Structure 1
Amino acid sequence: MGSSTALEKLQRELQIEANDLSELQKGDYIIMYICTSSDILKNHQVRKKYTIQLGENELALKLNSLNEDTNLCILEGPVFVRQDLAEANATVRKRIEYIAAELERMDAILQDLEEKQNSKKDVILKLQQGIQSLYAGKAKT
């Protein structure tokens, strides 16, 4: 009687933890301003986009090798607009800072999501082991 109630309790806990893990993997929780765990894939995709943009902007910084009198134009909508070299470099540096900060933030979110998933998996594994040991105990009797 005691082992049957203990078994039922472990099974309920297992179901709750499995549901929590499933919720995490579906992305129903919100962490900071980005979605969660099944959104790990989305996080990786956005991170890849930012990494590409970071490389492009770092390449753009090589404009420093241009002469000050070089005509520099940027695309604003459908029109090219002349821009000062110093202003263009400042804009690119700010973009690089922003992208680098976003990458760091996304890395922190990703690490947090993975830690939560691993924690839930550990709890589920322990509950499953408890259930198995109760079944093994019943089988012996």
Structure 2
Amino acid sequence: MGSTAALKELQRDLESKANDLSKLQKDIAKNHQVRKKYTIQLGENELVLRELDLLNEDANVYKLIGPVLVKQDLAEANANVRKRIDYISAELKRLDATLQDFEEKQNSKKEAIFKVQQRIQSLQAGKGKA
């Protein structure tokens, strides 16, 4: 009877670890989605910055605020775009670090699941022989 209880306990442990792994995989997928969004925004802002660099200092620059175009100083527009690029780059670095942490946890969970599966198999094999 002891091996049956141990087997049930191992199966509960396996289920718990599998749920944790599933949650980690969802977090990784969410991280990838957010990274993709920021990567697109970074590309757009770098394109805007290149366009602003092509302009003469006396060129008119407009910023879309809601449904209205508002005139903006070229230097101010340049500074705003550079700040946005810095912010997005910092967010991408943070997301990369978080992703690395998630992947390490995922690998650890996979190893733990594998070990529990091996213990279950050995218990079941032992029972089969008895």
| TM-score interval, normalised by the smaller of the two chains | 0.7 to 0.9
Bigger helix fraction: 2
Structure-2 change in CA distance of 1:17 and 1:107 (3 Å): farther
Partner of residue 44, structure 1: 32
Of 16, 19, 30 in structure 2, the residue corresponding to residue 22 of structure 1 is 19
Note if contact 1:14-1:124 (Cα within 8 Å) is conserved in structure 2: no
Q: Name structure 2 gaps, 5 residues minimum.
A: none
Cα-Cα RMSD: 2.1
Give 1:1-141 correspondences, 5 Å limit: 5=2, 8-9=5-6, 11-26=8-23, 37-62=25-50, 63-141=52-130
Q: Name structure 1 gaps, 5 residues minimum.
A: 27-35
TM-score, scaled relative to structure 2: 0.84
* CA drift at 1:137: 2.7
CA deviation map 1:7-44 (0-9, x unaligned): 63354144234324314524xxxxxxxxx541322221
Bigger RCO (CA 8 Å, 6+ sep): 2
TM-score, scaled relative to structure 1: 0.78
Note if contact 2:7-2:123 (Cα within 8 Å) is conserved in structure 1: no
